[in-house]
Amino acid sequence: MTFPHLPPEVAELRDRTRRFIREVVIDAEPAPGGRLDQATRDRLQVAAKEAGVFAPLVPKEYGGQGLPIEHWSPILQEAGYSTIGPSTLNCMAPDEGNMHMLNLIATEDQKKHHLAPLAAGEIRSCFGMTEPHPGAGSDPAALRTTAVRTDGGWIIDGHKRFTSGAVGAAFCIVMARTPSVGSSPEGATMFLVDMTNPGIRVGEAIHTVDRAIDGGHPHLYIENCFVPDEAVLGEVGLGFRYAQVRLGPARLTHCMRWLGLARRAHDIALDRAGKRELFGGPIDSLGLAQHLIAESTIDIETSDAVITKTAALLGTDPKAGSAMSSIAKVHCSEAIFRVIDRAIQICGGDGVSDGLPLAQYLNEVRPFRIYDGSNETHRWAIARRASAGRAAAVRAGEQYRGDAVVGRHGGA
């Protein structure tokens, strides 16, 4: 994997991460369809700390590598080359997105009690936004969970589902609808709720096709749940804004990790295509197979390019970066799926068997077209931004008028 203009220390961390994943982590992977067990996770995390590759995105003051966003991709792609790499390196969803947000908006006390142990890999966390019908899903405005003021704090009531990582998590960042309080607007607020709070309970498991995220995606019941004022994360009423602060980078890190897995699938397919002989030569000498290989190489490189641009924008112009992250999410989630699907095709029957991990890889990446905003929701937003951007440019005196050209030629 080549990246232009990497500073030497980032290139060195990338190489170290690559060696660690390939020499230590891959050997410990569970069989296709299995999950990383806690003891193996703990052992690998100790080894990752010793190898100096643990928590690449976490600030140095919390024991991480402190990488700036524009250099996340080469490292996360190396981590994602193994399905258990991101968990091992403590850069897996949802903890990674939660740590990013806590670092930006938590109080010093919240950082001490929640960010520090999360960064050290001592605890896990979850993020509770999605609810059953008719609550929040693609449309966050449908949020039904409520928090109302009481003496010294808030009472939260609601029902969440698809709460990744909730089994075994130490705390959940709960999104709840809140009324206007003082100068704070009516809207949504984020709360840090310890999972030992008697008002929160992990419910039924939801069995999905993926296996890489520790702690499942269960229902979460929040009933008469008291939290003190200190549990408010950021400011009251700004929860939807903070969700975007979290989601812009979080959906991009999913692109980075899953692109690493697509590279692994492509390598498996290339190795197979170079060795397996059909019709007098290896598969990779056959034109239609070369087409599959070329298309996957193009999907990998275009994903890499769009990630690099989005990361650079998020580091310099968060609003433009957040808009670009929609494009990156749609492109990468579909391109990555295609790469793994083609790898399966090239490997023939073995591709869909548990002799190879490819079918499980497909299961890992398929939900990515649904979470972090479904691809339809993003396409809708991308189209509206494109139309609004063009209308604004015309209003501002843009010289070239496409509709005038059509008129000149008699088309309109």
Instruction: Determine which residue in the list 125, 163, 310, 326 makes contact with ligand FAD, applying CB under 6 A.
Output: 163
Instruction: Determine which residue in the list 128, 215, 216, 237 makes contact with ligand FAD, applying CB under 6 A.
Output: 128
* Long-range contacts at 136-139 (CB < 8 A, ≥ 24 apart): 136/175, 138/373, 138/374, 138/376, 138/377
- In whole angstroms, the minimum distance from the beta carbon of 281 to ligand FAD comes to 41
- In whole angstroms, the minimum distance from the beta carbon of 206 to ligand FAD comes to 8
**Quick one: which segment of 41-49, 162-170, 311-319, 401-409 binds ligand FAD (CB under 6 A)?**
162-170
Tell me the per-residue interface mask from 307 to 326 with ligand FAD, x by CB under 6 A, - otherwise.
Answer: --------------------
- In whole angstroms, the minimum distance from the beta carbon of 349 to ligand FAD comes to 28
How many residues can be counted in the chain? Answer: 412
**Quick one: which segment of 100-108, 229-237, 334-342, 363-371 binds ligand FAD (CB under 6 A)?**
363-371
- In whole angstroms, the minimum distance from the beta carbon of 283 to ligand FAD comes to 33
Is the distance from CB of 363 to CB of 210 less than 8 angstroms? Answer: yes
CA–CA distance, 203 with 64 (Å, rounded to integer)? 33
Burial class (CB within 10 angstroms; exposed 0-12, middle 13-18, buried 19+) of 199:
middle
- In whole angstroms, the minimum distance from the beta carbon of 373 to ligand FAD comes to 6
Q: Does 130 bind ligand FAD (CB under 6 A)?
A: yes
155's tokens = 């009472």
CA–CA distance, 65 with 56 (Å, rounded to integer)? 5
Size of the site for ligand FAD (CB under 6 A): 20
Nearer to ligand FAD, 65 or 322 (CB): 322
CA–CA distance, 111 with 92 (Å, rounded to integer)? 19
**Quick one: which segment of 1-9, 123-131, 187-195, 357-365 binds ligand FAD (CB under 6 A)?**
123-131
Nearer to ligand FAD, 82 or 163 (CB): 163
124's tokens = 């896990």
CA–CA distance, 169 with 173 (Å, rounded to integer)? 11
My answer on whether omega of the bond before 134 falls inside 30° of 0, hence cis, is yes
Nearer to ligand FAD, 94 or 351 (CB): 94
Nearer to ligand FAD, 130 or 253 (CB): 130
Q: Which 365-394 residues touch ligand FAD, going by CB under 6 A?
A: 367, 370-371, 374, 376-377, 380
Q: Which 28-57 residues touch ligand FAD, going by CB under 6 A?
A: none
- In whole angstroms, the minimum distance from the beta carbon of 213 to ligand FAD comes to 7
**Quick one: which segment of 13-21, 124-132, 229-237, 333-341 binds ligand FAD (CB under 6 A)?**
124-132
Tell me the per-residue interface mask from 178 to 217 with ligand FAD, x by CB under 6 A, - otherwise.
Answer: ------------------------------x-x------x
Q: Does 127 bind ligand FAD (CB under 6 A)?
A: yes
CA–CA distance, 394 with 367 (Å, rounded to integer)? 39
- In whole angstroms, the minimum distance from the beta carbon of 172 to ligand FAD comes to 9
Nearer to ligand FAD, 81 or 162 (CB): 162
Is the distance from CB of 215 to CB of 167 less than 8 angstroms? Answer: yes
CA–CA distance, 115 with 97 (Å, rounded to integer)? 11
* Torsion angle of the four alpha carbons 41, 46, 50, 52, in this order, in degrees rounded to the nearest 10: 50
Nearest Cα residue to 97 out of 118, 83, 117, 112: 118
In the bound complex, which residue of the shown chain has the CB atom lying closest to ligand FAD?
137
Q: Which 242-301 residues touch ligand FAD, going by CB under 6 A?
A: none
- In whole angstroms, the minimum distance from the beta carbon of 370 to ligand FAD comes to 5
> What b/e readout covers 298-323, taking b as 16+ CB neighbours within 10 angstroms?
ebbeebbebbbebbebbeeebeebbb
CA–CA distance, 237 with 240 (Å, rounded to integer)? 8
Contacts of 300 (CB under 8 A, 6+ apart): 259, 262, 263, 266, 335, 339
**Quick one: which segment of 112-120, 121-129, 265-273, 286-294 binds ligand FAD (CB under 6 A)?**
121-129
Contacts to ligand FAD by CB under 6 A: 94, 127-130, 137-138, 162-164, 208, 210, 217, 367, 370-371, 374, 376-377, 380
